[in-house]
Amino acid sequence: MATAVRMCSRTLRNIYGLNNVQFPQQSLNSLRCMSQEASKSSDQKSQDQPSEDDTNEAVKALEEEKTKLMEKLEDVQDKYKRSLAETENVRNRMQKQINDAKLFGIQGFCKDLLEVADILSKANESVPKDEVTNGNPHLKNLFEGLTMTETQLTKVFTRNGLEMINPAEGVKFDPNIHEALFEQPVPDKEPGTVAVVTKVGYKLHNRTIRPALVGVFKAA
């Protein structure tokens, strides 16, 4: 920069014929100071500008930070989805328990009524049918009352989802709704089928609350 000032000074002297003119020392010193300050300012600007290596490191650091943040975001999203799924499962289980409570809340009461139904059935079976005539009005009225009561009780059971399990002979034995009390060998009957029903069973909304007690055929 000082060289440029001197060259500029010579050029001006040549142009304006000032070769023999002596400039004050103070002016020359001022020019030199200005030149030095301009040089320092240029050097400072060069130092302030980041190098290419620094820029690359900064970009690399930002990319690593972005990768970490994306991993954290994916982890949070995964946990959030799992939490939603678990909440939905809990809600479904609670809803099922509520529905089951509505359907099967009367199960204990139904079991108690089954004993009443058994007694009515036995009472009807014990009445001799040949004596139920107009000549015996008291027995006839009693039998008709028992029959109507049993019929009405059966309608109440059906209305509340209670179904009778009374398998016919030859029906395949099902351990889910039948309970075998004994096995009976009969040559012409298929083994593993129902031979006789000793006590009817019941289902409440397709749930067995009392299996039918049966005898089963076996191979002779």
**pLDDT (tens digit per residue) in 45-57:** 555 555 677 788 8
Maximum separation of any 2 CA atoms in the chain, in Å: 170
Considering the domain delimited by 162-220, tell me its CATH architecture.
Roll (2.30)
Average pLDDT, the chain: 82
Q: Where are the beta strands (DSSP E) in the chain?
A: 162-165, 178-185, 194-199, 201-204, 207-210, 212-218
Cα Rg of the chain (Å, integer): 54
8 is written with which tokens? 């500029």
Separation CA 184–CA 117 (nearest Å): 28
68 is written with which tokens? 């970490």
**pLDDT computed for residue 18 by the predictor:** 46
Q: Is 9 helix (H, G, I), strand (E, B) or coil?
A: helix
Sign of CA dihedral 18, 19, 25, 27: positive
Distances (CA, A) of 118 to 45, 124, 154, 202: 107, 10, 11, 11
| Closest alpha carbon to 107 in 201, 203, 211 | 203
Helix (H) or strand (E) holding 123: helix 107-126
> In this predicted model, what pLDDT tens digit does every residue of 70-85 receive, in sequence order?
999 999 999 999 999 9
CB count within 10 Å of CB 20 equals 6
Question: Which amino acid would we find at residue 150?
Answer: E
Question: Which amino acid would we find at residue 28?
Answer: L
**pLDDT computed for residue 126 by the predictor:** 87
- In percent, the amount of the chain with pLDDT more than 70 equals 77
> In this predicted model, what pLDDT tens digit does every residue of 108-167 receive, in sequence order?
888 888 999 999 988 888 888 888 888 888 888 988 998 999 999 999 999 989 999 999
**pLDDT computed for residue 174 by the predictor:** 94
- Domain borders along the chain are 2-45, 162-220
